[in-house]
Amino acid sequence: MHAQLLEQVRSLPVREQVELVDEILEGLPVEEETNAGPNLSPAQITELERRLAEHLADPDSAIPWSEVKQGIKERFGFDI
Q: What is the pLDDT of residues 6-65, one digit of tens each?
A: 899 999 998 899 889 888 888 887 665 555 567 889 999 999 999 999 999 999 999 999
Look at residue 71 and tell me whether its pLDDT is greater than 60.
yes
Entry pTM? 0.43
Look at residue 68 and tell me whether its pLDDT is greater than 70.
yes
SS (H, E, C) the chain: CHHHHHHHHHCCCHHHHHHHHHHHHHHCCCHHHHCCCCCCCHHHHHHHHHHHHHHHHCHHHCCCHHHHHHHHHHHHCCCC
The residue extents of the domains of the chain are 1-20+42-80
